[in-house]
Amino acid sequence: MSALPVSRRAAVHQQGHFAGTLEEVGRGSWRFTYSPGYAGLPISLNLPVRSEPYEFDRFPPVFDGLLPEGLQLEALLRTRKIDRGDVFSQLLAVGTDLVGSLTVTPRSDGTDDAWKTQANS
């Protein structure tokens, strides 16, 4: 999966500290990489802090579990005009108001300005 081009990125914060980057790499593939030097709590007990990236063939369960369901999902899809299958956009849309200690925001490196606008609208 590593050779595939990255199409979207999000910054993942643990208790307000930048922990790493979630990337969509190709269709249906995902990668989470802890930031070099990050020594805080892991984002999940199943994803301990390490230097090697975690690779996934489907949307990572730790993030999937943070997505809205039922009426909240339906309202999000309708108001933000997000496709039901676009879980990345769903996560960015709710990423600053998640249950628990994680926050997920568009990367602030300028590569994802369109998603920043969508996530903050």
- pLDDT computed for residue 36 by the predictor: 97
Dump pLDDT digits (tens) for 47-105.
999 999 999 999 999 999 999 999 999 999 999 999 999 999 999 999 999 989 999 99
Burial 90-115 (b: 16+ CB within 10 A, else e): bbbbbbeebeeebbbbbbeeeebeeb
Output the CA angle 50-55-61, nearest 5 degrees.
95
pLDDT tier for residue 107 given thresholds of 50, 70 and 90? confident
Name the token pair of 93.
Answer: 């849309």
Are the C-beta atoms of residues 94 and 84 closer than 8 Å to each other? no
